[in-house]
Structure 1
Amino acid sequence: MRPMSRSGSTVLGFALIAVLLLGGCATAPRATRTETTERTDAAAGQARALAAKASTLGGAERSAAEREIDRLLGEMDNATLARVAAELPAGDPLYNYAGRALLRRGLPLPRPFDRGEGWRFAAGAPAERDGYRPPARVAVLLPLSGELATPAAPVRDGFLAGYYGESRRRPEVQFYNTAAGGALAAYERAVADGSQLVIGPLGRDEVDALFSRGQLPVPVLALNRGNVRPPAGAASFSLSPEDEGSAAADYLHARGARRVLAIAGDDDGQRRAAQALRERLAERGGTVVAIVGEATADFAPFVAQNVDGVFLAVRGATARGVVPKLALAGLTGKPMAATSQLASGTGKAGEDRALDGIAFPTEAWWQRGVERMPTAAAAGALLPTARGPAARLFAFGHDAWLLAAYLEKLVNATDGAVEGATGTLRIDGFGYVLRTPAWSTFSNGVPVPLRGR
C-alpha cells in the first residue's frame, strides 16, 4: 500500500474536522440495506419456502412450484444469484435449484451439489489430470433389433467411436439388447454381470419404468428424459426439444428480447420446444406474446404487441416460406432463433438465403471438432450412421461415452464440465445433463458457425 501524500493527509484532516463540527458528538448513521437487497432477500426467502414444500408435492402442483422457484431465481443478476447460492446451508433444498440456474448461465458452483449417497465410485487408480476416470465395467442398454434398432445404431456407433478414440485405460463394455426381454430385465442382467455403470435405456417409457424403482443398486446414465425424475445415483441425458427451446430463450434474452413471438409446427417436438421457450423466458422476466402456427398468413398484428424477438420451431423448408411474411410485417430486424430443425430440408444456397441471420443450435462436433474424435466429414465418409440426420445421434452416442468417462468429475466438482460432440455438458443437482449447444446461422444460404455466442 502506498503512503498517503502530505496533501492527501491534509484533505483527510479537514474532512474529519468538518464531520466533528457538523455532527457534534452524534455517531454516524448505520448503513441501511438497499431496497434492491431487501427485494432479493425476500425473493430468496420465498424460493426457499417453495423448495422445501416442492418435495412434498406431486404432478402439476410440484411443476408449478418449481416454475415459480426458477422465475424468482431467474430475475436475479449473476452476482446476486451466486451470493444467494453461496449463503445457503448444506442440505438446503433451494441449493440444487440455485446451482442449476448458475450452470445454465455458465457460472461455477460455490460448492458441489448436495447429491446424498446415491453416487458410488469404485476405489482404484486416481483420475487423470483432466478428470478422466471411467469405471472398470460398463453396460450399454440399447434396442439392437426391432423397430428402434435404426435410431439405436448411430448411438451405438458414436459410443464406440469415442471409446476407441481414447488411448488411455478403457473399461470392459457389454451391450445388452433391450428389444429381447425389455429394459428392466437387461438392467438386472447387467447388475448380475458386475457392471459398475449402466448406460441406457433409450426409450422414454423404459426410462420411466427404471427410474420408478427408486434408488438403484448400480448407477444409471439414461439416454432419454421421461416423466420420472432420476433417483439418487442416476442421471438423464437427452437431445430433447425442451432443451432447444430453453437454449433459444437464453439466446434471445441475452440479446435483449423480452417479448417473443413463437412460430411452431404441428408435431409434438415442435410444440414442446415452443412451450419450453415460454417457460424459460418467463423465468428470466420475459414473455411469449403468442405461439402461432406455421400457416399463419399475416404477422402484422403482432407488431402492435411490441415483439422484440422471434422463435421458429419449424423445418428449414417451412421457414423459407415464413420469413418473407415476417419481413412484410416488419419483424425481420429482431433477434431470431430456431431449433436445430431449421437445418432440415436445406442445402440449396439460393433458396436458403431466406434463412440468413437466424441462429440455431448445432453439434459442437460439426462446428469446431472434438478431441480424440474424427471430424464430422471424415466420420460421415466412413460410416452411414455418422452422416445425414443420423449424425446427431452419432454425436449423442459419443457424448454418452464421454459422460461415462468423466462422470465422477461431473458429479463432484464445482466447475464440472466436459466439451462434448453435442455441446458443453454438465450435470445438475437433480441428475439431468445440461447441454449448452454450439450455435450456427445461415450466411448467403450456407450454414456457418455463429461466433461471439
Structure 2
Amino acid sequence: MQNQNAPATRPFRLRWLAPCLATLLAAGCASVATAPPAAPEHAAALAQLEQGQAREAAQRLETLAAGARGTQRNALLADAAFAWQEAGDEARARSLAAQVDPRRVTGASRARLGLLQAEWAIAGNQPANVPALLAGSDPALLGAPLQARWRLAQARGLEATGDAVGAAAARARADAGLQGEARNANREAIERLLAGLDDATLSSRAAALPAGDPLYNFAGRALVRRGLPLPRPFDTAQAWNFDQRAPAAADGYRPPRKLAVLLPLTGQLATAAGPVRDGLLAGYYAERRPRPAITFYDTGGTPAGAQAAYARAVAEGNDFVVGPLGRDEVGAVFAGADAGVSSLALNRGTVAPPPGHLAFSLAPEDDGIVAADYLLAREHRNVLVIAGSDDNGRRAVEAFRTRLQERGGSIAGVVSVGEEPGDVSAQLVQASAAGADAVFLAVRGPQARALAPQLALAGFAARTRVAGSQLTSGTGKAEEDVVLDGIVFPGEAWQARGVAGLPSYSQVSDMLPTARGPAARLFAFGHDAWLITAFLERLLRSSDGELAGATGTLRSDGFGNIVRQPQWSTFREGVVVPVSGGGY
C-alpha cells in the first residue's frame, strides 16, 4: 500500500525546493514558522519505545508535544498516546488521543494511531469500525511486530464486515511477524476462515492470487485437504534445490545420490521400525532404475540418539535423510537440523518442519480431519462422536471436532467409552433425538463390535458411520467382524486395491511377518517414504504433483507436511473391502 498522505510535488519545482524540503523533513513538521527542529528527539523517543521502554518514551513524547505546534504536535501526541497505551496507562492514552486531529497525522505516526484506535474498537466489541480507523495508514512504515498487529486488527475488522477472504489475506500477511503460540493461533484462524468457503469459491480465489501472495499457500493447503487441484505449485516449492540429483526421468523419478535412513532399530520403538524398514526396502528394490546408496542409522529411539544419527549421516556425505520415527526424535532433529541436508521425518514433531525439511506421518489427527471432510462432503453436519479413552482416540476426536466446526458442522453429542464399553444406549437415543445425522467412532475394533448393536437399536444403522483407522485394530475374524458391516474408515490403498510396484498384500503378508495384521500399515508407510524420496521434486514442484502411494494419494500441503487422501474402506460380511470411488 502506498502512503497516500505523502506530499505531491512537480519535478521542475524540486530544483529550487530541495534545500527547503530537506530542512522541513529534518525538522519533522509542516509548520515552518513555529515548529522547532525536534525530529531527532522524536526519533530517539520512538527508539526507546521499540526497545521496550514504553513509559520513558511516552513521557518524552508528551513533553516534546507540549512545545510543538501544527502537524508536528499532532504526530507527537499520537505517538505519545500509543506509547502510554503500551505502558499500560489507557486513561492517559485516551486523553492524549482525543487531542489529535487525525487529518494532520501522516506516515508511521498515522499507522500507530490507526492501530491504537483499531485495537480500542476491538476491545470495545466494535470491530466493524476498524476498516475506517485504519484507512489512510500504511503498515509497511512500522516495524515487523507492529505490522503484524496492524494486520491482525485489519483482519478482525474485515471479518466483522463479512469479508472472510480479505480477513484471511490480512492474517496471512501478519504471519511472518508472529512466533510461537501467536503464530499457531493465527494459522488456525486462517484455516477457519478458508474452511467456511465452498469449493468453487476457494478454487477461484486461490487461482486469482498472484505469485508470492502470502495467502496462496494457505489456500492451497485448504484445496489439498479437500482433494481439489492446485492452480499452480506452492510458492515454497522453488526453495528446494535438486541440483545435486541426477536429471529427472519422464515420470519424475529423481532420487538422491546417497540416502540415509534414521530408525530406532533398537529400543522401545524397534518393533514399529521393523515394518517401516521392510516397506521402504520393498519399494527401493522394486525400482529397477539406478538407486542411491542406502545406509541405515540406529537412533535408539531417543532424541539424543536421533540427533547423533542425523549428524553422523550428514558427516558421511548423505544428501537426503529419511527419519527419524519417534515424535520426540523428530522434534529434536528439527530443532537443530542442518538446512543443507534435507530430510523426510516419519512423524509430526513438536516443532514445525524447518525450511528444506518435510514431515510424513500416520497421525491420529489426520484420521479426524479426513473423517470430518468425508462427512461434510456428504452434507452430514450434526455428528455424534463416540470417543475411546486412549491417546489416539482423544487426538482423533479433537482434530475431528475442530475440522467439523471450522466448516460449519456441529457435534450432536460425545459418548466416551472405556476398553469394554457398557450400556450407553440412553446416550445414543438422546443423540438420535437431537438430530444427529452421522456417527464418528474413534475406537478400536473390539470396542466398535460392542457398540454396533447399541447403535442399531438407537436408529443409527441406516445413518452414515465413519471411524478412524484404528477400527481395524483387533479385527480379522469375519464371523466376529460382521457386526461392523457398513462402517466406513480410512484404510490403505495397498490392502484395498493394490499399488503399482508392490506385490499384492496377500503375497507379501504370506512371506513377511512385518507386513501382517496391524504391521501392514507401517509396512505401507515405509514404502511411501521411499516413494516420496524418489519423486520429491515432482511432488513439490508440480501443481498436480501427487503420488499414488500404498497408504493413499500423497500430496504436499505447502507447509512442510506430506498429507494423504486415504483409500476409504468398509466391512462387508465381516471382511474389509474398498468403498466404490475410494475418495471424497
TM range (shorter): 0.7 to 0.9
Which residue identity does 2:408 align to in structure 1?
G
The aligned residue for residue 388 of structure 2 is 265
Q: 1:19-51 deviations in whole A, cap 9, x for unaligned? A: xxxxxxxxxxxxxxxxxxx99981110011122
User: Structure 2 CA distance, aligned partners of 1:259 and 1:64?
Assistant: 25
| Alpha-carbon distance in 1 for matches of 2:483, 2:223 | 36
Q: Is the 8 A contact 2:489 2:569 kept in 1?
A: yes
Q: 1:191 aligns with which of 310, 314, 317?
A: 314
Matched, 1:381 2:510: yes
Amino acid paired to 1:435: R
Counterpart check, 1:354 vs 2:483: yes
1:24-423, aligned counterparts within 5 Å?
42-115=163-236, 118-123=239-244, 125-179=246-300, 182-213=305-336, 216-294=339-417, 295=421, 296-298=424-426, 299-423=428-552
Q: Could you tell me how far apart the structure 2 residues matched to 1:116 and 1:126 are?
A: 17
- The share of aligned pairs that are identical, in percent, is 58
Does the 8 Å contact 1:67/1:283 carry over to 2? no
* CA drift at 1:428: 1.2
| Displacement after TM superposition at 1:60 (Å) | 4.1
Shift of 1:380: 0.9
Distance 1:201 1:302, change over 3 A: same
Structure 1 residues 214 and 325, CA, compared in 2 at 3 Å: closer, same or farther?
same
For each residue in 1:58-97, what CA deviation from the matched residue of structure 2 results, as whole angstroms up to 9, or x when unmatched? Answer: 4444333222211221222222111211222322221111
CA–CA distance in structure 2, aligned partners of residues 55 and 282 of structure 1: 26
Output the CA distance in 2 between the equivalents of 1:364 and 1:399: 11
2:553 and 2:237 map into 1 onto residues whose CA distance is 25
Shift of 1:270: 0.6
Match of 1:444 in 2: 573
Q: Give the Cα separation in 2 of the matches to 1:204 and 1:282.
A: 27
Residues 215 and 231, structure 1, Cα contact 8 Å, conserved in 2: no
Contact persistence 1:136–1:196 (CA under 8 A):
yes
What TM-score do the two structures reach when normalised by structure 1?
A: 0.88
Whole-angstrom CA distance in 1 between matches of 2:527 and 2:479? 34
CA distance in 2, matches of 1:370, 1:111: 27
Aligned partners of 1:39 and 1:215: how far apart in 2? Answer: 43
TM superposition shift of 1:356: 1.1
CA contact (8 A) 2:237 2:541 kept: no
Decide which moves more: 281-290 or 58-67. 58-67
| Shift, 1:159, TM fit | 0.5
Report the secondary structure of 2:211's partner residue: coil
1:4 corresponds to? none
Say if 2:368 and 2:399, in contact at 8 Å, map to a contact too.
Answer: yes
Q: Which consecutive residues of structure 2, in runs of 5 or more, have no partner in the other structure?
A: 1-158
Q: Across the two proteins, how many residue pairs are aligned to each other?
A: 416
Task: Answer 1 or 2: higher relative contact order, Cα 8 Å, separation at least 6.
Answer: 1
Amino acid paired to 1:51: A
Structure 1 residues not aligned, in runs of 5+: 1-37
Which letter does structure 2 place at the counterpart of 1:351? Answer: E
Kept in 1: contact 2:245–2:255 (CA 8 A): no
CA shift in 2, pair 1:444/1:246, >3 Å: same
Q: Counterparts of 1:249 and 1:206 in 2: how far apart (Å)?
A: 29
Mean CA deviation greater in 279-288 or 246-255: 279-288
Q: Counterpart amino acid of 1:378?
A: Q
One-letter identity of the residue aligned with 1:241: P
Structure with greater Cα Rg: 2
What is the SS of the residue equivalent to 2:383?
A: strand
Residue 48 of structure 2: aligned partner: none
2:508 partner SS: helix
Give the stretch that moved more between structures: 115-124 or 165-174. 115-124
Question: CA contact under 8 A between 2:425 and 2:458: conserved in structure 1?
Answer: no
Q: How far does the alpha carbon of each residue in 1:148-171 deviate from its partner, in whole angstroms, 9 at most, with x for none?
A: 211111111111000000011111
